Amino acid sequence: MVITEFEYKVPDYIRKWAEEHDVPIVRTPLDFKKIDAEYIIEYSEDRDVSYLERIWCHSRNIPAVIGETERLIIKEIGEDDIKRYRELIQMYRRYLKISDMAGLSFEEFKERHEAYIRYSYQFLEYGIYGIYLKAEKEKGIIGIAGIDGTDEPELSYALYPEYREKGYAFEACEYILRYVKENELAGTIHLYTDVSNSRSFKLGNKLKKVYPELVLHITDPDGKAYEEKE
C-alpha cells in the first residue's frame, strides 16, 4: 500500500498514521515508479484515517472494522468466524439473499467467502458484516448484517436466537445504512420481507423512519404486495 500526494498535501495526522503502519508516502511520479504496491491511494481531503485503515487491513488480509455503535462492533467476517457465519446462513436460508451458500460444504463455503472478500469488501467496499457484542467479543459474531448485490442492493440481517429482541438488529442496520450513504457506496437500498415475519416487518418500518431512502418490499402470505390498512 502506498499513499500519493500529487494534488493534495498529506496532513500531519495522516502522515503519523502512515509512519505507524509502515505505509510510504510519495510526492512525485518519479518516486512512485520506485515502489511496487497492490493498493495505491491518491490522497484527497475526504480520505480519513478510517478509510486508510480499511485499505491497510485489506492489503494484509485482515478483517477491517467498519464501525462501532453503543453496544456493537461491526466488522468484516474473517476466517475465525466462518463457522458461525455458515450456521447463521443455514439457520435463515429462507430469508437471506445469500442463502445459496447454505448447502455448500465447509470447504466450499470458505472458498466462496474468500472470493466474496475480494469482490465485496475490497472492490465494492460494502457487504455482509459480522455483528460483535462489545461485552462478549470473545464469543465471536452474534449475527450478521449488511448490504449485498449491485443492481438492487439489498439489506440483510440475522441474529442467533438468544440475541433477538434486544435492539441489536436495528442498531447494526441503522449504522450500516448510514455508513453506506455517507461514503456513497451504493444507490437505493432495498429490504424484502413478509408481513408474517413480524420481527422483520417491524424492523423495516422502524428503519424507514430514520432512513427514508430505504425501499421496503413487503408481501402478504400469498406473495402479493402487502398494503397496510388505515
Whether the predicted pLDDT of 54 surpasses 50? yes
Can you state the angle between helices 168-182 and 198-210, rounded to 10 degrees?
40
- Tell me the C-alpha distance between 220 and 108, whole Å: 35
3-class SS of residue 181: helix
Can you read off the three cell numbers belonging to residue 207? 428503519
State the fold for domain 63-184: Aminopeptidase (3.40.630)
Per-residue pLDDT, 33: 65
Whether the predicted pLDDT of 1 surpasses 90? no
Residue type, 84: R
Whether the predicted pLDDT of 53 surpasses 80? yes
Q: Is 96 left (phi over 0), alpha (psi -120 to 50) or beta?
A: beta
The residue ranges of every structural domain in the chain are 1-62, 63-184
Segment 156-166 shows an average pLDDT of 94
Per-residue pLDDT, 136: 87
Whether the predicted pLDDT of 221 surpasses 60? no
Segment 102-126 shows an average pLDDT of 91
| pTM, entire model | 0.86
Query: Per residue in 67-90, pLDDT tens?
Result: 999 999 999 999 999 999 999 999
